[in-house]
Structure 1
Amino acid sequence: MIRFVAIEQSPYLPVLTGEANDCIVLRKVSNDSNSIEMAFPFQPDSTIIHLSIIDAIMLRNAIDDLVSVKFLEKTGGQ
């Protein structure tokens, strides 16, 4: 299973609004896999980061804490 997150803002390249020029790719090789691979394919000198399921959950929780529901309500996000 592969998922990607498109990123519109980048400090390296000017970008038009609504146009993504970078992304993060997440891959789980199989449903039985105990790790998730995370890659930044357009970043120079980046390697594939292997996250255990626990590490992936901790990353998700950290992002949830930083982007709280209250913040999304104030900005009109979904």
Structure 2
Amino acid sequence: MIRTVTFKRSFHFGGSEEEAVVLRRCEASSTIDLSFPFQEDTPNIELGIAQAMDLRNALNDLIGEVLALPAPVTELFPSTRVSVADQSEFSALFDRFPSDSEGDKQARKALTLASGVLGLPLGAYMR
């Protein structure tokens, strides 16, 4: 089993770079391998189960116990009486009124009201 945690590493002189920590547990092994794959000069770290539990407990002590968060909704178009093709076409209508002119604002407001009546989700790109 492999788990990956990504994070941004900031530099003192400005900017940041995306980094990752990879955790691996082999079925036949009683250890957890901890790796920083983009840090070429950092060796892999092998933790016994007790050490891995100590790491978890230390994180819980620092940030408070965090239970598993609910998985984000990955369904782009939730179930509705409107077909996926029609939802896509409806979403495209927002692109026809891109400016901040009064007419475009009113059109987007009308589309927003219509989406509420139809029970369609509004993404950030449609507002």
- TM, length-normalised to structure 1: 0.71
The AA in structure 2 aligned to 1:55 is Q
- Greater fraction of residues in helix: 2
Bigger Cα Rg: 2
1:14 is matched with which residue?
15
The AA in structure 2 aligned to 1:11 is S
Alpha-carbon distance in structure 1 between the residues aligned to 2:3 and 2:35? 11
Q: CA deviation at 1:11?
A: 2.7
Q: CA deviation at 1:39?
A: 0.3
2:24 is matched with which residue?
27
Q: Name which of 65, 70, 75 aligns with 2:61.
A: 65
Alpha-carbon distance in structure 2 between the residues aligned to 1:66 and 1:43? 25
Provide structure 1 residue ranges, at least 5 long, that are not aligned to the other structure: 73-77
| Greater relative CO, 1 or 2 (CA 8 Å, sep 6+) | 1
1:51 is matched with which residue?
47
Provide structure 2 residue ranges, at least 5 long, that are not aligned to the other structure: 70-127
Percent identity (aligned):
37
Question: SS at the partner of 1:46?
Answer: coil
Q: CA deviation at 1:51?
A: 0.2
